Structure 1
Amino acid sequence: MEHHNAKTTLRGALILSLAAFIAKLLSAVYRVPFQNLVGNTGFYVYQQVYPLYGIGMTFALSGLPVFISKLVADAPDLPTQQQVARQVYRWTWGLAGSLFVGLTVGAPWIARGMGDGQLTPLIRTVAWMFLLMPDLSVTRGYHQGRFEMLPTARSQVVEQIVRVAVILLVASWATVQQWSVYRMGAWAMSSGTLAAVAAWLVLPRWRRPREPRVARVPHIGRRLLVEGGTLCLLTAMMVLLQLIDSFTVKNGLVAGGLSDLAAKDLKGVYDRGQPLVQLGLVVAVAFATSLLPALTAAQQRGRQREFKRLTTTMMRIALVIAAAATAGLMTLMPWIDRLLFGNQQGTAMLAVYMLSIILATLIQTYNSVLQSQDQYRLTVVALVSGLVVKGLVNHWAVMHWGGLGASWVTVGSLLVMAGVIWYGSPVMLRSGIWTFPFLGKLLGCVALMVGGLQLLLHGLAAWWPGLMVGRGAAGGILMLTIPAGVILFLATALGSRLLTVREWLTLPHADQLLRFWQKLRLHGGK
């Protein structure tokens, strides 16, 4: 029976992980065609208000459902599970109603705080999505707590598909009809509410007859505030940093001497970095956290040696993938920028912004490990510390150094978070993971990949100078350089034994890669 439950849990975790990966991928990818349709200023309008939606989505998609599922799973029987769901539902309705009223009434003040009073209708449009948050979060959490993962997974994917489709349709129609960017933004923001309705429609209902009646479960409200709020904050880390940007970047650019229109345009360029960072995070964290169910099982069974081994593997894989992705994006940023967005505006600030991938990946991976041990306080302290740094410094940095200043402050804030987590973590999570030989090999692999890419780019420029100009040319260059960079990094990583065989084998299809590498070595030795 225990084996069956473990198998069901693992399969459910994999289903949810796959659904989350698809949802995050869609959420990152759609912004490229959207920006191409609406331009820098249209993208600025959307991204100024997006963090408010992002916070609500985090509550309903991942933060609250995970917490609610733990409450439901801990309940001893079906009636108690239903009672837990009913109590949480009432509390979340109070939270959702407060947020709805606060955003609706406070929209003019929030918009003025962002430096653009015309954002008021967009903020009020976003507010409606919060009214669906209780049904979505409680229903998802209830089914997850009963180890029924498919309803949540299906609703996550449906929600993102509907949202992306509505946004791109609105952008296309607004372009044809020559709407103002603010009218377009308001309609695009309505996608959040429409997508939430679609997600709710595909979710099975959790309410059942109240018989037999059970007593109220104590301390639900306090646990929802402390534990549930903590999970939501940690999940919304990057969105919270973006929210601070919404209040400080455009205002800082104007204070630094730019006109209002030029500041909006440059903020739209700065926002190009967010889908690229999100893509890097999706890949790195998805590979690393695939080990999370095994990690949690090892912790619950008291197998400390296995827990330490899995933690080391997860941390190292996360850093290796994030470092390779960051270095590749930074090196190829001029051509990525041209291919995706049609020009090379803001290449330097976008390249610096890519450093966020390494730090955010490490923070999220450390957080996953700490969550498996039911430790939340440290990551909350780290998050608050980083947000305080971002909030205090960002406006000043933007005023003096423009978008580049905002990029560096984001990286600095994440560095503060990572430092607090590392310093405050148990000794087991610090010793033996980041050894000097491992870090030296990783640095060497990254340096060789970057050097190889630079040589290849210089060679292409010398061979055919015209190849370096134009959007189509940028696509051609990336089709050559990205596979070359991947091959070069893998070859140096395998040759230097950056990861152990056991660590390699946790990655998909790594067994085939290792066999191929072994054949190459045997062939080369003859």
Structure 2
Amino acid sequence: MGNRHLNTTLRGALVLSIAAFIAKLLSAVYRVPFQNMVGNTGFYVYQQVYPIYGIGMTFALSGLPVFISKLIASVPDLPSQQQIARQVYRWVWLLAGGVFLGLMLGAPFIAAGMGDRQLTPLIRMVAWMFLLMPELSVNRGLHQGQFDMLPTARSQVVEQLVRVAIILVAAAWATHHGWSDYRMGVWTLSSGTFAAIAACLVLPRWRKPVATTGTPIAHLGRRLLIEGGTLCLLTAMMVLFQLVDSFTVKNGLVAGGASDLAAKSLKGIYDRAQPLVQLGLVVAVAFATSLLPALTEAQRQQRPLAFKRLTATMMRIALIIATAAAAGLISLMPWVDRLLFGDAQGATMLAIYMLSIVLATLIQTYNSVLQSQDGYRLTVVALLVGLAVKMVGNHWMVERFGGIGASWLTVAGLLVTLVVIWYGSAVELRSGVWTTGFLAKLIGCTGLMVISLRGLVGISETVWPRLTSGRLLDGAGLLVLIPVGALVFLAVALWWRLLTVREWLTLPFAKRLLRFWQRLGQIGGK
């Protein structure tokens, strides 16, 4: 019976992980065609207000449902589960209603704080999505607490599909009919509300009992604020850094001497980094956290050696994939920038921003490990310290160094967050995870990959200068360069034994890869 329950839980976790991966992938990819349609200023208008939607989405998509599911799973009988859901529903409605009113009434002041009063109707449009947050979060949490992950998974994918479709259709319509960027922004941001409605429609209806049955949860409001709020903060980490940028980058550029229009355009260029970072994060974290169910089970069965080994494997895989992705993007940034966005503007500040892939991946992976031990306080304290660094210094850095200053402050804030987590973690989460030999090999693998990529780029720009301009030619070049870089990194990693055989085997298709490498070694030996 216990094994059957465990298998059901692991299967549900896998379904939910796949759905989350698809949703995050859609959320990252749509920004490229969207930016191509609306241009830098249109992208600025959307991205200035997007972090407010992003915070609400994390509340309804993952933060609150995870907290609610833990409450539901803590009681065995259906009446008590329904009673808990009813209690939570009331508290979440109080929270959502407060946020809705705050955004509706405070929209002019928020827009003024962002340096652009024309953003007021966009902020008010986003506010409507919060009214659907109680239904979404409680319904998802109820089903997850009953170990039925399919409704949540289905609603996540449907929500993102509807949202992306509305954004792209609205952007195409606005471009064709010559709408202003702000009118376009209102319609594209309405996608959050329509997508939430679609998600509600595909979720099974849950019964809200009128009579009080079951056992109520004591101090629920405080737990919702502390535990639920903590989960939401951790999930929305990168969105919170973007929110700081919304209030400081455009204002800092104007204070530094840029015209209002130029500042908007440059902020739109700076925001090109978001889909690239999100894509790198999705891939790296997905690979690393595939070991999370096994890690949680090792913790539950009190097997410290297995827990330590799995933690080390997760952290190393996360660092390897994130480092390779960041180094590859930095090496090829002008080409990537031209291919995706039509020009190479801001390539330097985008390249610097790519360093955040490594730091954010490690933070999220550490957070997953700490969550498996029910440890939240350390990560929250670390995140708040990192955000404080970003908030205090961002305007000053942008005023003096432009968008490059904002990129460095994001990297600095994430680095501070990671350092606080590192030094605050238990000894078993630090010792044995990073060794001098592992880090030296990783630096060597990355260095050889970067040298090979930069060498090929330099040759192509010298020998065939005409082939280094044009989006189609950039795309063709990247189709060659990306596999070459990946193969160089992989070959050196295998040759230097960057990971142990056991660690390699945790990755998909690794068994075939190791067999092929072994055959090559036998051929080379002959």
1:121 aligns with 2:129: no
In the other structure, the counterpart of 2:79 is 79
Task: Show structure 1 runs of 4+ deviating over 4 A.
Answer: 208-212
Alpha-carbon distance, 1:470 to partner: 1.2
- Cα-Cα RMSD: 0.9
State the SS of the aligned residue for 1:291: helix
In structure 2, distance between residues paired with 1:229 and 1:17: 21
Contact 1:448 1:489 in 2 (8 A): yes
**Counterpart amino acid of residue 468 in structure 1:** T
Say whether residues 1:302 and 2:302 are aligned partners.
Answer: yes
- Offset at 1:343? 0.2
CA apart distance, 1:208 = 5.5
Please tell me whether the aligned partners of residues 41 and 265 of structure 1 are also in contact (alpha carbons under 8 angstroms). yes
Q: TM-score, normalization: structure 2? A: 0.99
In 1, Cα distance between equivalents of 2:46 and 2:349: 20
User: CA separation in 1, counterparts of 2:121 and 2:317?
Assistant: 44
User: Is the contact between residue 143 and residue 206 of structure 1 (CA under 8 Å) also seen in structure 2?
Assistant: no
Q: Is the 8 A contact 1:72 1:85 kept in 2?
A: yes
Q: Tell me how far apart the structure 2 counterparts of residues 425 and 354 of structure 1 sit (CA, whole Å).
A: 26
- Distance in 2 between the 1:130 and 1:217 partners? 24
Partner of 1:132: 132
Deviations 1:211-270 (A, max 9, x none): 782232212111111100000000000000000000000000000000000000000000
Match of 1:335 in 2: 335
Aligned length, in residue pairs: 526
Note if contact 2:46-2:185 (Cα within 8 Å) is conserved in structure 1. Answer: yes
Please say if residues 253 and 399 of structure 1, whose CA atoms lie closer than 8 Å, have aligned partners that are also in contact.
yes
Aligned partner of residue 486 in structure 2, secondary structure? helix
8 Å contact 1:348–1:404 — kept in the other structure? yes
Match of 2:160 in 1: 160
TM-score after normalising by structure 1: 0.99
In 2, Cα distance between equivalents of 1:484 and 1:215: 61
Task: Give me the whole-angstrom Cα distance separating, in 2, the residues matched to 1:138 and 1:379.
Answer: 25
What is the deviation of 1:162? 0.2
Q: In the alignment, which residue of structure 2 is the partner of 1:199?
A: 199
Question: In the alignment, which residue of structure 2 is the partner of 1:373?
Answer: 373
Q: 5 Å matches for 1:264-279?
A: 264-279=264-279
Contact kept, 8 Å, 1:79 with 1:210, in 2: the verdict is no
Report what 1:251 is aligned to: 251
- 2:397 is aligned to 397
Q: Which residue of 2 aligns with 1:240?
A: 240
Give a deviation string over 1:425-447, Cα, whole Å, max 9, x none: 00000111110000000000000
Question: Which range moves more in the overlay, 213-222 or 280-289?
Answer: 213-222
**Given residue 441 of structure 2, which amino acid in structure 1 is its aligned partner?**
K
- What is the rounded CA distance, in whole Å, between the counterparts of 2:345 and 2:146 in structure 1? 50
- 1:69-121 Cα deviation digits (max 9, x unpaired): 11100112111111111100000000000000000000000000000000000
SS of residue matched to 2:402: helix
Aligned to 2:452: 452
Gaps of 5+ in 2: none
Residues in 1 aligned to 2:64 and 2:485: alpha-carbon distance in whole angstroms: 39
| 2:493 equivalent in structure 1 | 493
Instruction: Name the stretch that deviates more: 210-219 or 32-41.
Output: 210-219
Give unmatched runs, 5+ long, in structure 1: none
Is the 8 Å Cα contact of residues 83 and 212 (structure 2) preserved in structure 1?
no
The CA distance in 1 between the partners of 2:394 and 2:186, in whole Å, is 27
Specify the alignment match of 1:218 in structure 2.
218
Q: 2:231 corresponds to which residue?
A: 231
Identity of aligned residues (%): 72
Work out the CA distance in 2 between the residues paired with 1:46 and 1:510: 41
Cα pair 1:79 1:212 within 8 Å, conserved:
no
CA contact (8 A) 2:132 2:197 kept: yes
Quote the Cα distance in structure 2 between the aligned partners of 1:215 and 1:401: 58
Task: Say if 1:51 and 1:243, in contact at 8 Å, map to a contact too.
Answer: yes
| Structure 1 residues 47-69: Cα deviation after superposition (integer angstroms, max 9, x where no partner) | 00000000000000000001111
Give the Cα–Cα distance (whole angstroms) in 1 for the partners of residues 454 and 234 of structure 2: 37
Deviation of the 1:207 alpha carbon: 1.3
The residue that corresponds to 2:69 in the other structure is 69
Task: Report SS of the residue matched to 1:207.
Answer: coil
- CA positional deviation for 1:476: 1.1
Q: Which position in structure 2 is the counterpart of 1:41?
A: 41
Q: Identify which range, 254-263 or 294-303, moves more after superposition.
A: 294-303
- Deviation string for 1:390-434 (max 9, x for gaps)? 000000000000000000000000000000000000000011111
Equivalent runs, 1:377-388 vs 2, <5 Å: 377-388=377-388
Amino acid at match of 2:171: A
Q: Could you tell me how far 1:454 is from its partner in structure 2?
A: 1.4
User: Whole-Å Cα distance in 2 between the matches of residues 441 and 517 of structure 1?
Assistant: 18
Distance in 2 (CA, whole Å) between partners of 1:488 and 1:199 is 43
2:49–2:122 contact (8 Å) kept in structure 1: yes
For residue 385 of structure 1, give the secondary structure of its aligned residue in structure 2. Answer: helix
Whether the aligned pair in 1 keeps the contact of 2:81 and 2:214 (CA below 8 Å) is no
2:281 counterpart residue number: 281
Mapped partners of 1:188, 1:359: distance in 2: 31
Does 1:429 find its partner at 2:464? no
- Per the alignment, residue 352 of structure 1 pairs with 352
- Report the AA paired with residue 287 of structure 2: F
8 A contact 1:445–1:492 mirrored in 2: yes
Helix, strand or coil: the match of 1:13? helix
Q: Give the CA deviation at 1:210.
A: 6.0
Deviations 1:283-305 (A, max 9, x none): 00000001111111110110111
Letter in 1 for 2:291: L
Query: After the TM superposition, which of the residue ranges 246-255 and 209-218 deviates more from structure 2?
Result: 209-218
Is the 1:234–1:379 contact (alpha carbons within 8 Å) kept by the matching residues of 2? yes
Counterpart of 2:315 in structure 1 is 315
The answer as to whether partners of 1:250 and 1:263 remain within 8 angstroms in 2 is yes
Q: In 2, Cα distance between the equivalents of 1:70 and 1:313?
A: 27
Conserved 8 A contact 2:83-2:209: no
Q: Secondary structure at the match of 1:290?
A: helix
Counterpart for residue 415 of structure 2: 415
Amino acid paired to 1:326: A
Partner of 2:471: 471
* 1:8-27 correspondence runs (5 A): 8-27=8-27
Determine the structure 2 residue equivalent to 1:507: 507
Name the SS of the counterpart of 1:394 in structure 2.
helix
Equivalents in 1 of 2:271, 2:28: separation in Å? Answer: 12
Distance of 1:325 and 1:212 partners within structure 2? 53
**Does the CA contact (< 8 Å) of 2:82 and 2:209 recur in 1?**
no
8 Å Cα contact 2:118-2:182 kept in structure 1: yes
- 1:460 is displaced (CA, Å) by 2.1
Counterpart CA distance in 2 for 1:201 and 1:84 is 22
Q: Distance in 1 between matches of 2:212 and 2:423?
A: 50
The match for 2:440 is 440
**Equivalent-residue separation in structure 2 for 1:461 and 1:305 (angstroms):** 52
SS of 1:281's equivalent in the other structure is helix
Deviates most, 335-344 or 75-84:
75-84
